[in-house]
A and B are shown apart, each in its own frame.
Chain A
Amino acid sequence: MAAGVAAWLPFARAAAIGWMPVANCPMPLAPADKNKRQDELIVLNVSGRRFQTWRTTLERYPDTLLGSTEKEFFFNEDTKEYFFDRDPEVFRCVLNFYRTGKLHYPRYECISAYDDELAFYGILPEIIGDCCYEEYKDRKRENAERLMDDNDSENNQESMPSLSFRQTMWRAFENPHTSTLALVFYYVTGFFIAVSVITNVVETVPCGTVPGSKELPCGERYSVAFFCLDTACVMIFTVEYLLRLFAAPSRYRFIRSVMSIIDVVAIMPYYIGLVMTNNEDVSGAFVTLRVFRVFRIFKFSRHSQGLRILGYTLKSCASELGFLLFSLTMAIIIFATVMFYAEKGSSASKFTSIPASFWYTIVTMTTLGYGDMVPKTIAGKIFGSICSLSGVLVIALPVPVIVSNFSRIYHQNQRADKRRAQKKARLARIRVAKTGSSNAYLHSKRNGLLNEALELMGTPEEEHMGKTTSLIESQHHHLLHCLEKTTGLSYLVDDPLLSVRTSTIKNHEFIDEQMFEQNCMESSMQNYPSTRSPSLSSHPGLTTTCCSRRSKKTTHLPNSNLPATRLRSMQELSTIHIQGSEQPSLTTSRSSLNLKADDGLRPNCKTSQITTAIISIPTPPALTPEGESRPPPASPGPNTNIPSIASNVVKVSAL
């Protein structure tokens, strides 16, 4: 019920007349409505598609671009309409928000494009209506995960700072592909696991007869050889376990992890066997312990991703498995009881007790049907058939859930691998494009400065040397130039002619490295602090990343990406603005998306004028930070102003 509440404001104010006779003190003066305009249609031209709406419709939400005077910046005097060079499809949703008060998210739209448009129009995505909110959040989460994956692998590929020996070892253990030694270790352990498992199996195979005695299993015939093999394997496993224990970042957590428990269980029997003597009583138990050696096969899960996925699936389907087990147990008990009583009368019945019938029920329900227990009475046969029919149903129900879980996780993993492979190609292409454009920029700068230099030196005929750049490019370059001027930093250029010429010009940007150091020493020349921003060091990418970052993140609060001086200048800008407009910088909905400068730029005329009836919507602080994916911008500052206001003051968009 948010739309058009502002339209009911006259009603609320009129209803205030009901308080007048009760009031004891004189009322404050009503605000004079200076710009009393008749409601008019305004035309919004979005990339050629014209939308028309009433002015008051847009003014319902004064905290957004269209509702405030910010839209005047887009007013085209010639055509008397507001022109926005943005996506008309998303604008449709935005305008419907003003009309109906509900923001919808179209499913066909890309999530980041949509977010960008919302940020441009100053609308918080959190107010998306319930109908579309789930879809929006899901897509946003997917996107965030994708970005996070990208970032992670990016970080991994960068050269790590020097790790300690322990950390390198741990990394080697966890990702065998990081170094050759790790790979070798990985394959060696795999081989020995295989050997160990095979020896366990072969040990029990009957191996041909020694003359004069019965057939022996191989284990007893070649006991020494098997013992040596076993010892070797166990030694390797022990060494591996101890190394992992040493390298683990958190030993306590490592000891508790499943893999380490499997390791321990795999090697324990051997040591216990060594310790125990050939005592007759104990050797029975010892033989049982050897069963645990088969757990070595689980060590393969470190080597196989599929096994890990399977284990993870089973873990995530624990509830379905539990349900399956529970329903099976219920059915088994029921049918076993019924069968027992049905078969009670028949002579020589194998169904001697209910627990004895459990075996029959299980075998029948899983459609095994060994035939060792068979009902003989008619009733028993009827119930037996019901039992087998229902068994199929009960088992078939949870299985698709488990299967779909497995398939989803498996495909996720596949997708991750595919994305990693695609990323490499994509990054290579991007790098080529970046270097191309930055070279163009530097080239044009060089040409531009050469032109200047030549002009100053009075050789006009070589002026138009480098006039190969298009208008767009020159405007772009001009922009970059302005950025340099603003920040006082510069791009590195290695043209000696240029540096000689430019070193005499104050506040200049093109500085060769050597000249730069010289200038540092001559402190008079250098006005700006020689603090290089980190962006300078990664120079080839500076141009386009700077621009792209700026254009993309103009809606973010200045964070550490921008150089310090730029931040300072923007803050100055913002303070000037705030002093200019005499209102408290109280904003709620839009603030987290906009630069601080914008807060001052948005003089909402209605704020100071509303006295009696005031629309004040306290936005809970939980709403103001944007979605989880974005790194939290620096300040919840403007937003926290709202709770601090005791009296019901000031505006906000009528949400």
Chain B
Amino acid sequence: MGCHVECGVPSSLPISSLFLLAQMYSRSVYGFAYVCTTTMGSEDKIEDELEMTMVCHRPEGLEQLEAQTNFTKRELQVLYRGFKNECPSGVVNEETFKQIYAQFFPHGDASMYAHYLFHAFDTTQTGSVKFEDFVTALSILLRGTVHEKLRWTFNLYDINKDGYINKEEMMDIVKAIYDMMGKYTYPVLREDTPRQHVDVFFQKMDKNKDGIVTLDEFLESCQEDDNIMRSLQLFQNVM
């Protein structure tokens, strides 16, 4: 009778190769599971980190701030409400700062100037601006004496905070200001306009022509210039 049962060792696929296949499969499964858990674990770690950085900073009391700055309580309230609205965590980091500032200058690129501003606001160089820093700076700018305002501006221009302004720093600042205007201007911005502007500035400010402007030179020159004096008083009644 026809017996189709296979006897003996089949010369087809050996059983050992089956085991090999099974090994490979199990290894891959294990590897896959391992990768899964590690990535998921690291995701948890990332979330933990995020939670840790979600600091919430609360400013000092209203009375203290009122004493330290030249604002009234009401003005401080208004300022804080606006501040907290944009930055619920109570601190502004540079990115947020740049974004907020850029909204006022949609035609151009305000990021560089905002960068310098941020570092001027961030007096303690921590990388974030708290409400106290914010309000202190605003107090100087809006309610401070001429002397204070000029000193603040000097601090702004002095990018590396070494006490002197050199031409490169001034170039950066002036270029940042021109960047805010954007491309479509009349007349069109030429390549050497910032440089010319800086030269004019240095001519005016640098009394001893040594290539850098110190704070005293700066204060003296600005106080001689009527235009600057007048424009510093421009924003007295903001707020």
Residues of chain A having any CB pair with chain B under 8 Å: 1-5, 7-27, 29-30, 32-33, 36, 38-39, 54, 56, 341-346, 348, 376-379, 612-618, 646-648, 654
Query: Contact: A14 with B230, CB < 8 Å?
Result: no
B13:A3 contact, CB within 8 angstroms? no
A7 touching B81 in the complex, CB below 8 Å, given contacts A14-B141, A345-B10: yes
B238 contact set on A, CB distance < 8 A: 10, 13-14, 30
- CB closest chain-A residue, reference B2: A348
Question: 18 A-B contacts, Cβ less than 8 Å apart?
Answer: A1-B99, A5-B86, A8-B82, A14-B141, A18-B117, A20-B228, A22-B197, A26-B227, A27-B231, A29-B234, A30-B234, A39-B74, A54-B81, A377-B10, A377-B12, A379-B10, A379-B12, A618-B107
Minimum CB distance partner of A348 in chain B: B4
Contact in complex: B78, A39 (CB < 8 Å): yes
Closest 5 CB pairs of A and B: A7-B82, A4-B85, A345-B12, A14-B141, A27-B231
Q: Are B11 and A345 in contact (CB under 8 A)?
A: yes
A338 nearest CB neighbor, chain B only? B13
**A10-B142, A21-B150, A22-B197 known, 14 other contacts, Cβ within 8 Å:** A1-B96, A4-B81, A13-B238, A14-B141, A18-B120, A18-B156, A21-B228, A23-B227, A26-B231, A27-B234, A343-B12, A345-B12, A348-B4, A616-B106
Chain B residue nearest to A100 (CB atoms) is B85
Which residues of chain B are within 8 angstroms of A616 by Cβ–Cβ distance?
106-107
Interchain CB contact under 8 A, B103 and A615:
yes
Contacts of B112 in A (CB 8 A): none
A505–B205 CA distance with the chains assembled, in angstroms? 84
How many pairs of A and B residues are in contact by the CB < 8 Å rule? 150
Cross-chain contact B227 with A25 (CB below 8 angstroms)? yes
Smallest beta-carbon distance A613→chain B, Å: 6
B12 with A3: CB separation less than 8 A: no
User: How far in angstroms is the closest Cβ of chain A from B109?
Assistant: 14
Known: A10-B238, A16-B235, A615-B103. A1 touches B12 (CB 8 A): no
Interface residues of B in 171-225 (CB under 8 A from A): 173-174, 177, 184, 186, 197, 200-201, 205, 218, 222
Q: For A33, list chain B residues within 8 Å (CB).
A: 237
CB closest chain-B residue, reference A349: B4
**B90-103 CB contact bits vs A (8 Å, 1 = yes)?**
00000010011101
Asked if B101 and A342 make an inter-chain contact with CB atoms under 8 angstroms apart, the answer reads no
Main secondary structure of the interface of A (DSSP, over half): loop
Q: Is B239 an interface residue (CB 8 A)?
A: yes
What size tier do the contact residues of chain B reach? Answer: 35 or more
A54 to B77, CA, bound (A): 12
Contact B201 A8 (CB under 8 A): no
B149 within 8 A of partner (CB) = yes
Shortest distance between the CB of B226 and any CB in chain A (Å): 8
How long is the Cα–Cα vector from A27 to B231 in the complex, in angstroms? 6
| B153 on the A face (CB < 8 A) | yes
Most interface-central of B6, B101, B157 (chain A CB within 10 A): B6
Are B235 and A17 in contact, CB atoms less than 8 angstroms apart?
yes
**Which A residues touch B74, using CB under 8 A?**
38-39
Q: Bound state CA distance, A347 and B150, in angstroms?
A: 102
Q: Is B232 interfacial (CB-CB < 8 Å)?
A: yes
Contact across chains for A617 and B235 when beta carbons are under 8 A apart: no
Q: A12-B104, A18-B117, A25-B227 are in contact. Are A56 and B78 (CB under 8 A)?
A: yes
Contact A377 B82 (CB under 8 A): no
Chain B residues near A17 (CB-CB < 8 A): 141, 149, 152-153, 232, 234-235
Out of B142, B201, B230, B235, name the residue touching A22 (CB < 8 Å): B201
Q: How far is the CA of A627 from the CA of B73 in the complex (A)?
A: 46
Contact A648 B10 (CB under 8 A): no
Check A22 against B86 for contact (C-beta < 8 Å).
Answer: no
CB distance from A472 to the nearest CB of B (A): 45
Given A22-B173, A56-B78, A377-B10, also A15-B231 (CB < 8 A): no
Please name the residue on chain A nearest to B170 by beta carbon.
Answer: A22
Q: Which B residues lie within 8 Å of A29 (CB)?
A: 234
- Whole-angstrom distance between the alpha carbons of A646 and B153 in the complex? 30
Q: Which residues of A contact B205 (CB under 8 A)?
A: 21
Is B65 an interface residue, CB under 8 A from the partner?
no
Known A-B contacts A4-B85, A12-B104, A616-B106; the reply to A26 vs B237 at CB < 8 A is no
Q: Which of A9, A19, A26 contacts B230 (CB under 8 A)?
A: A26
Are B4 and A376 interface neighbours, CB within 8 A?
Answer: yes
* Residue pair B13, A341 in contact (C-beta under 8 Å): yes
